[in-house]
Amino acid sequence: MILSSSLIWFLVGVAFLIAELFLPGFILIFFTAGCWIVALVTWLFNIELTSQILIFIVSSLTLLFTLRKYSLNIFKGKTRDIIDDHYMDSKIGKTAIVTKTITTNMPGEIKVLGSFWRAIAEVEIEEGQSVLIESQASEDGLTFKVKPV
């Protein structure tokens, strides 16, 4: 059984596609597209192997350099969501109860809206006192800056 060059390019593209599923980076998908472009061209026209390889390299690299950044933005998503920001902002300005003493050099713990959070303050605040949440103190959104009420 003799395989046509267009079928071989198609199968190589399938192999790249399967490899993309197992490897991170979103790069091999563009080589998949390059293989399938060459498969289509060789199916329509009878061209030599060197031309096929040239079409593969040019099409794969063109797709990679023009579409990868755009595709990553679409498929990767955002690490922080607008809903997360809204949820964090909903605590700012609220009153909380200190559940573990907060010192100037050691974070403590507060309870607000039924959840426990790390908190820092510029002054020492004892357990049981009420505090006002001033702002988010950490980039991960798990620590708040508070002041006594």
Model pLDDT for residues 36-89, shown as the tens digit of each residue? 999 999 999 999 999 999 999 999 999 999 998 888 777 776 655 555 555 556
Sign of CA dihedral 38, 44, 50, 51: negative
| Separation CA 9–CA 134 (nearest Å) | 61
The reply to whether 70 and 86 lie within a common domain is no
The pLDDT of residue 142:
84
Greatest Cα-to-Cα distance within the chain, rounded to the nearest angstrom: 84
pLDDT for 104 equals 86
Q: Which domain holds residue 64?
A: 5-76
Q: Which of 40, 58, 76 is the last residue of a domain?
A: 76
Tell me, yes or no, whether 109 and 61 share the same domain: no
Do 71 and 92 belong together in one domain? no
Does 5 have pLDDT greater than 90?
yes
Listed residue (104, 93, 103, 90) closest to 132, CA to CA: 93
Number of domains in the chain: 2
Mean pLDDT of the chain: 88
The domain boundary residue, chosen from 29, 55, 76: 76
At which of 76, 99, 122 does a domain end? 76
Contact 111, 97 (CB under 8 A): yes
Lowest mean pLDDT among 9-13, 24-28, 85-89, 107-111: 85-89
Q: Measured between alpha carbons, how far is 119 from 100 in angstroms, rounded to an integer?
A: 9
Residue 87 three-state SS:
helix
Tell me: do 143 and 111 sit in the same domain.
yes
22-41: per-residue pLDDT in tens? 987 788 999 999 999 999 99
- 90 with 132, same domain: the answer is yes
Q: What is the pLDDT of residue 144?
A: 92
- Cα dist. 12→17, 19, 31, 36, 60 in Å? 9, 10, 9, 9, 13
58 and 94: one domain?
no
